[in-house]
Amino acid sequence: MEAFACDALPGRVVFGAGAARTALADEVARLGVSRLLLIAAGGGETVARDLAAPLADRIAGTFTGVRPHVPVEVADAARKQAAAIGADAVLSVGGGSATGTAKAVALTTGLPVIAVPTTYAGSEVTPVWGLSDGERKTTGVDMRVLPRLVIYDPELTVSLPGPLSAASGLNAVAHCVDGFWAPGRNPVSALAAAEAIRVLAAALPAVARDGTDLGARSDLLYGAYLAGSAFAVTGSGLHHKICHVLGGRYGLPHAQTHAIMLPYVLAFNAPGAPDAASRIGQALGSEHPAAALQALAAQLGLPRGLREIGLAEDQLAEAARLIEPVVPADNPVPAGAAALQVLLRHAWAGDPVGTELAGTELAGTELAGTELAGAGRAVEEQGAREEAVTDEALASFAGADAARYREIMQSLVRHLHAFAREVRLTESEWEQGIDFLTRAGHITDDRRQEFILLSDVLGLSMLTVAINAPASAGATESTVVGPFFVADAPEVPLGGDIAGEAKGRPCYVSGTVQGTGGEPLPGARIEVWESDEDGFYDVQYPDGRIGGRGWLRSAPDGGYRFWSVRPAPYPIPDDGPVGALLTAAGRGPMRPAHLHFKVEAPGYRTLITHIFVAGDPYLDRDAVFGVKESLITDFAEHPPGPGPDGRPLDEPWTSVRFDIVLARLASGPGSPGI
């Protein structure tokens, strides 16, 4: 055992589910304080009041003006209140900001702090304080701010939202990992940090799966406590120095920056700190701890590359220069600006810190000192090889005669290659993609078009509609055509019935067809198709019956009317690969109830659209993104009795009015057709 020195921190910790309810009053009495200033943060105020109720006689005042980063004016207000009520202790209930405000009071008054944390911040076990004054932040270390008593009650963390829990839990992991090479590291802090990493890495995915899992919440809080205690004595290492610059200078979000950087910093430092790397690996149950950390962050839905959170490529060199002077003197591998730039570039691109990088290309020995140039070259060579493939594929289309074909194919190649690079497509993922397309091909025939369905659920169909039916002031909006249009629908007279063999509640549809100038459009061809009350189109009937479709012409005044059936919501065909894709995304196959229209008039842009039934439960989750606010229409319900045209109805019926406005074509016909 090597010699070491360690400032062990005092303080009592009471941990347990329900501890805040059952133990707080006795613990406060034990401290011998009787005039508490309760500091309660925003959302936690009610919780705080409930918890404080059993010690109501000891609460002399409540401060609720907590704000993030403890602005100096907030600290002043809390201090004034503490003085005004003659407080002899401060009780904070809430996250890091509530604890921070209590610490600010303790800093100038010396009052003891009792902390009941409701998040995984960890600051309740550190003597570090922080205040903000506008943009400026001041921090310091003072033993007076270290809470005398901390009550950890996992029940109070159950309502902390999943993403916030993941972010602050990973932040705690970062405290531990960085603590292995931070200035105050010692065998005891390493012990706590390793145990914290083990507990946190197991609890984080469990909490992400089920935020109400009290066992996992307990572990997460316990891990956060250990992490906070370890960090309190180790202080910041390379990782925190890097994140501080990235957050302060470029405004990158705190939690995401930590999650992205940590695996790279570990891979960078590991060769100079093999014992630390091996202990972190043991705690994570992996021989490749950096890769394991990256996988954990991905599992928690955190981004992978700094570029995803807004860092520009041309900022990397400057960032490296700014970090260099703050690198701790005894970082296990030398971290000059050039080495840092290579490190940042990997983190920026989101390169995998997998077996292919960990311990080899990205490892500190290679990035540091003599071999640094080699690492930089390796990165460049990799990039050059990838670009060469893209260039070759692009060039292969350069000779195409048709300019439009050339433009489309070269753009497709550029975007496909960029996509593969961005996600670092693995060979097995490529195979899965090919397999998906193969299955889509096999299931497609004259009646089933899986590729259009794929385009629909990816939003490509609606994007193409948006590109090709440019917004025209006052014109009715377009939406997807869908696969159920057929070319030879029956003609019905004005006021006729298109229901045919389709069953459902009778529905009277009427309106006008006009141009955007308000001119009526007589003789416009209006074609309609829809599902029956069970959500089936006639082309889905096994026996060839026809129903729920037809076409008619508008009257001389542009008016139109016909009978149909009230449409029903239905699932798009989901028994093929597209259905599997939706399931994997946690999406449903449903489309809200709608009536398809195709309206044509000479000199006007052909309109392909639907009207949707207002109040349909699927309006906000249409599987094909076809809903537009302007197309949601009220379908009125009527009791049995004569319809608007005198038709006798012995059952309830529905009516809807839909006025259609067509955009004039710029010149000539050329309207798109189906």
Identified binder of ligand BEZ from the candidate list 44, 482, 550, 577, rule CB under 6 A: 482
Q: How far is the CB of 456 from ligand BEZ (least distance, A)?
A: 4
Q: Residue 450: which of Fe ion, ligand BEZ, none does it interact with, CB under 5 to 8 A by kind?
A: none
| Strand boundaries in 454-573, DSSP class E | 506-515, 525-530, 549-553, 559-565, 570-571
Determine the interface stretch with Fe ion among 25-33, 113-121, 475-483, 580-588 (rule: CB under 5 A).
Answer: 475-483
Q: Is 483 in the site for ligand BEZ (CB under 6 A)?
A: yes
Residues 435-464 vs ligand BEZ: string with x where CB under 6 A? ------------------x--x--------
Decide: 656 and 562 in contact? Cβ < 8 Å.
Answer: no
The conformation of residue 606, written as its DSSP 8-state character, comes to P
The conformation of residue 566, written as its DSSP 8-state character, comes to -
Determine the interface stretch with ligand BEZ among 11-19, 321-329, 478-486, 490-498 (rule: CB under 6 A).
Answer: 478-486
Among 134, 135, 65, smallest CA distance to 104 is for 65
Q: How far is the CB of 566 from ligand BEZ (least distance, A)?
A: 16
Give whichever of 508 and 612 is closer to ligand BEZ, judged by the CB atom: 612
568-607 residues in contact with ligand BEZ (CB under 6 A) are 572, 591
444-452 contacts at long range (C-beta below 8 A, 24 or more positions apart)? 447/539, 448/483, 448/573, 448/576, 449/483, 450/576, 450/577, 450/578, 452/483
Q: How far is the CB of 610 from Fe ion (least distance, A)?
A: 7
The conformation of residue 285, written as its DSSP 8-state character, comes to T
Give whichever of 180 and 612 is closer to ligand BEZ, judged by the CB atom: 612
Give whichever of 44 and 482 is closer to Fe ion, judged by the CB atom: 482
What residue number has its CB nearest to Fe ion?
482
Decide: 523 and 571 in contact? Cβ < 8 Å.
Answer: no
Q: Which two tokens stand for residue 370?
A: 């003599």
Identified binder of ligand BEZ from the candidate list 150, 166, 343, 480, rule CB under 6 A: 480
Give whichever of 428 and 630 is closer to ligand BEZ, judged by the CB atom: 630
Give whichever of 461 and 606 is closer to ligand BEZ, judged by the CB atom: 461
Q: Is 482 in the site for Fe ion (CB under 5 A)?
A: yes
Q: How far is the CB of 586 from ligand BEZ (least distance, A)?
A: 19
Q: How far is the CB of 564 from ligand BEZ (least distance, A)?
A: 15
Q: Is 561 in the site for ligand BEZ (CB under 6 A)?
A: no
The CA radius of gyration of the chain, in Å to the nearest whole number, is 33
3-class SS at 410?
Answer: helix
385-444 residues in contact with Fe ion (CB under 5 A) are none
Q: Is 541 in the site for ligand BEZ (CB under 6 A)?
A: no
Give whichever of 368 and 624 is closer to ligand BEZ, judged by the CB atom: 624
Q: Is 567 in the site for Fe ion (CB under 5 A)?
A: no
Give whichever of 117 and 482 is closer to Fe ion, judged by the CB atom: 482
Give whichever of 146 and 572 is closer to ligand BEZ, judged by the CB atom: 572
54-73 residues in contact with ligand BEZ (CB under 6 A) are none
Q: How far is the CB of 454 from ligand BEZ (least distance, A)?
A: 10
Among 482, 519, 464, smallest CA distance to 661 is for 519
Q: Is 624 in the site for ligand BEZ (CB under 6 A)?
A: yes
Determine the interface stretch with ligand BEZ among 151-159, 266-274, 476-484, 634-642 (rule: CB under 6 A).
Answer: 476-484
Decide: 289 and 189 in contact? Cβ < 8 Å.
Answer: no
Q: Is 536 in the site for ligand BEZ (CB under 6 A)?
A: no
Q: How far is the CB of 671 from ligand BEZ (least distance, A)?
A: 21
| Separation CA 272–CA 449 (nearest Å) | 57
Among 601, 611, 639, smallest CA distance to 510 is for 611
| Separation CA 285–CA 454 (nearest Å) | 40
584 φ, ψ (degrees, to nearest 5): -60, -30
Residues 6+ apart with CB under 8 A from 97: 41, 66, 67, 68, 69, 70
Q: How far is the CB of 591 from Fe ion (least distance, A)?
A: 6
| Separation CA 499–CA 564 (nearest Å) | 5
Q: How far is the CB of 610 from ligand BEZ (least distance, A)?
A: 7
Q: Residue 480: which of ligand BEZ, Fe ion, none does it interact with, CB under 5 to 8 A by kind?
A: ligand BEZ
What residue number has its CB nearest to ligand BEZ?
482
Residue 651 parent element (H or E): none
488 φ, ψ (degrees, to nearest 5): -110, 50
Give whichever of 199 and 528 is closer to Fe ion, judged by the CB atom: 528
Neighbours of 306 (CB within 10 A): 28
Tell me how far the alpha carbon of residue 406 is from its chain's centroid: 36
16 φ, ψ (degrees, to nearest 5): 165, 150
Give whichever of 92 and 476 is closer to ligand BEZ, judged by the CB atom: 476
Q: How far is the CB of 514 from ligand BEZ (least distance, A)?
A: 25
Tell me how far the alpha carbon of residue 84 is from its chain's centroid: 45
Give whichever of 71 and 482 is closer to Fe ion, judged by the CB atom: 482
Q: How far is the CB of 456 from Fe ion (least distance, A)?
A: 11
Tally DSSP H helices, then E strands, for the chain: 21, 22
523 φ, ψ (degrees, to nearest 5): 70, 10
Q: How far is the CB of 537 from ligand BEZ (least distance, A)?
A: 7
Q: DSSP states of 436-481 as a string?
A: HHHHHHHH--SS--HHHHHHHHTTHHHHHHHHHS---TTPPPP---
Interface residues with Fe ion (CB under 5 A)? 482
Interface residues with ligand BEZ (CB under 6 A)? 453, 456, 480, 482-484, 572, 591, 624
